Structure 1
Amino acid sequence: MATMPPDRHAPSHPPLRPIGTRRVVRRLLTLVAAVAVGAGLLAAPAHAAPPSVDEIDAQIDKQWEQLEPTIESYNKVRAQLKVNQKKSADLEKKMVPLELESALAMNKVGDIAAHYYMSGPSQEIGALLVSTKPGTLAEQLVILDRLAQQQRKQVESVLAIRDKYNAQKQKLDTLIAAQIKQRDELAAKKKHIDAEMTRLKGMLPKSSVRVDGCPKIDGVIAAAAQTAIRTACSKVGSWYVWGATGPNTFDCSGLTQFAYKAAGIYLTHFTGAQWNEGKAVSRAEARPGDLVFFYSDLHHVGLYLGNGLMVHAPRTGQPVQVAQISYQPVAGFRRPY
Structure 2
Amino acid sequence: MGSHRRLAPSPGPDRGTTVAVGLLSVAAAALGAVPATATPHGDPKAEVDRLYAEAERATEAYNEADERADALRERVNTAQDEIARQQEHVNDMRESLGSLAGAQYRSGGLDPSLALLFSDDPEDYLERASVLDRLTARRAGELKRLGEAVRTLDQDRAETSRTLGELDRSRKAAAAHKRTVERKLARARRLLASLPDAERAARERAARSGRGTELPGLPGPDGATAVSGRAAAAVAAARSALGRPYVWGANGPSGFDCSGLTQWSYAQAGIALPRTSQAQRHAGTRVPLSRARPGDLVVYRADASHVGMYAGNGQVIHAPYPGAPVRYDPVGMMPVSSVTRI
Residue 333 of structure 1 aligns to a residue whose secondary structure is strand
1:276 alignment counterpart? 282
1:80 lines up with 2:86 in the alignment? no
Partner of residue 286 from structure 1, selected from 287, 292, 308: 292
Partner of residue 304 from structure 1, selected from 305, 310, 316: 310
Q: What are the ranges of 5 or more consecutive residues in structure 1 without an aligned counterpart?
A: 1-50, 120-146
Deviates more, 1:232-241 or 1:258-267: 232-241
Residue 332 of structure 2 aligns to a residue whose secondary structure is helix
The alpha-carbon deviation at position 309 of structure 1 amounts to: 2.3
**Separation in 2, partners of 1:220, 1:282:** 17
Residue 270 of structure 2 aligns to a residue whose secondary structure is coil
1:180 alignment counterpart? 168
1:22 alignment counterpart? none
RMSD: 3.0
Superposed CA deviations along residues 230-251 of structure 1, whole A, max 9, x for unmatched, are 1112222222121122223211
1:65 lines up with 2:53 in the alignment? yes
Answer yes or no: is the 8 Å Cα contact 1:242–1:251 preserved in 2. Answer: yes
Partner of residue 245 from structure 1, selected from 248, 251, 269: 251
Q: What are the ranges of 5 or more consecutive residues in structure 2 without an aligned counterpart?
A: 1-41, 110-134, 209-219
Answer yes or no: is the 8 Å Cα contact 1:217–1:305 preserved in 2. Answer: no
User: Could you say which structure has the greater relative contact order, defined with CA pairs below 8 angstroms and 6 or more residues apart?
Assistant: 2
Shift of the 333–174 alpha-carbon distance from structure 1 to 2, 3 Å rule, reads farther
Shift of the 88–102 alpha-carbon distance from structure 1 to 2, 3 Å rule, reads same
The alpha-carbon deviation at position 72 of structure 1 amounts to: 0.9
**Separation in 2, partners of 1:175, 1:271:** 27
The total of aligned residue pairs comes to 253
Superposed CA deviations along residues 33-62 of structure 1, whole A, max 9, x for unmatched, are xxxxxxxxxxxxxxxxxx9xxx75554223
Partner of residue 320 from structure 2, selected from 314, 322, 334: 314
Superposed CA deviations along residues 143-184 of structure 1, whole A, max 9, x for unmatched, are xxxx96433311221133223323432342232122102211
1:331 alignment counterpart? 337
**Separation in 2, partners of 1:235, 1:216:** 18
Amino acid at match of 2:90: S
1:222 alignment counterpart? 228
Shift of the 88–259 alpha-carbon distance from structure 1 to 2, 3 Å rule, reads same
Superposed CA deviations along residues 257-295 of structure 1, whole A, max 9, x for unmatched, are 111111111223222232333333343443210111122
1:261 lines up with 2:267 in the alignment? yes
Q: Greater CA radius of gyration, 1 or 2?
A: 1
Answer yes or no: is the 8 Å Cα contact 1:204–1:317 preserved in 2. Answer: no
Answer yes or no: is the 8 Å Cα contact 1:245–1:257 preserved in 2. Answer: yes
Shift of the 113–190 alpha-carbon distance from structure 1 to 2, 3 Å rule, reads farther
Aligned runs of 1:19-30 on 2, under 5 Å? none
1:199 lines up with 2:187 in the alignment? yes
Tell me the TM-score normalized by structure 1: 0.66
Aligned runs of 1:138-217 on 2, under 5 Å? 149-205=137-193, 208=201, 216-217=221-222
Superposed CA deviations along residues 196-228 of structure 1, whole A, max 9, x for unmatched, are 11111112347646799xx84434111111111
The alpha-carbon deviation at position 317 of structure 1 amounts to: 2.3
The alpha-carbon deviation at position 307 of structure 1 amounts to: 4.4
The alpha-carbon deviation at position 65 of structure 1 amounts to: 1.9
**Separation in 1, partners of 2:58, 2:138:** 61
Amino acid at match of 2:320: P
